[in-house]
Structures are given as structure tokens and as C-alpha cells.
Amino acid sequence: QVQLVESGGGVVQPGRSLRLSCAASGFIFSNSAMHWVRQAPGKGLEWVALISYDGTNKYYADSVKGRLTIFRDNFKDTLYLQMTSLRAEDTAVYYCARDHGRGPPFEWGRSNYWGQGTLVTVSS
């Protein structure tokens, strides 16, 4: 069955860096676009980034552009989120999610599998 397992969360000081990982199994990882979505404590869902099936195309929310980088290793079936210059407002549970398609310009748009999330706390 499809499994997505995030790791790498923790407590980090403002301005520092962190890398999240999402290990995928149970499907052909290299055929699927992938997303990162976050949720601040007690708040709603916020889309963070999308990467196409082959890693060629990447898209970001304005709030993270230039600080967070999505990338993937299709040989290791793993998705990553490199987080730099972290701010207090980046504190959230970060979910990776599989898109049903390959990503733009191909068919894409719904996330039918999600990981359990990993908590990132940015605090001094």
C-alpha cells in the first residue's frame, strides 16, 4: 500500500536551516508529482511547494520562495524540503502528499495520499 513517511522535524532557532525528508513506498514514485503542505498549530492548511514527477518543474508559495527548496531523488524514492532562513511563522506540521498526476503541464491537481506529518518549531 502507499506509504509516505516524513522525518527531519524538530526545534530550530530563527535563521537556521533544516531539511525534511519524505520516504515513499507502495507506488512508482518517479511517476508522481509531489507536494509539501503545512499547518501551523491550530490553523488551516497552507500549500508550500510542488515538484513535477521528474524534478524538472518546481513551484512555491510566495511566503517561502527563496527560503525553502523542494527537490527529489527518484532513485531513493524520497522527497525533500530544504528550509533555510527559518522564521517563527514557519512553525507548523509539514505534510508531504502525492499528487495523482505528473504535475504541470500534464494532468495533476489532487493529493490522494498524505504522510503523517513532521513538526517544525522555530524558536529561540
Q: State yes or no: residue 45 binds other proteins (CB under 8 A).
A: yes
Cα 108–chain centre separation: 16
> What is the Cα–Cα distance from 39 to 42, expressed in whole angstroms?
8
Which own/partner contact pairs does 105-110 have at CB distance under 8 Å and 24+ positions apart? 106/52, 106/53, 108/33
- Candidate segments 12-20, 24-32, 80-88, 101-109, binder of other proteins by CB under 8 A: 101-109
Q: How far is the CB of 104 from other proteins (least distance, A)?
A: 8
Q: Could you say whether residue 8 binds other proteins (CB under 8 A)?
A: no
**Minimum distance from residue 13 beta carbon to other proteins (Å):** 27
- Give just the sign of the alpha carbon dihedral 83, 119, 103, 62: negative
Burial of 41 (0-12, 13-18, 19+ CB in 10 A): exposed
50 near other proteins, judged by CB under 8 A: yes
Q: What is the DSSP string of 7-27?
A: E--EEE-TT--EEEEEEEESS
Using the contact rule CB under 8 A, the part of the chain among 14-22, 26-34, 82-90, 112-120 near other proteins is 112-120
Query: Contact with other proteins (CB under 8 A): which of 60, 72, 90, 122?
Result: 60
Residue (82 or 117) nearer to other proteins, CB: 117
Options 16-24, 70-78, 82-90, 109-117: segment touching other proteins (CB under 8 A): 109-117
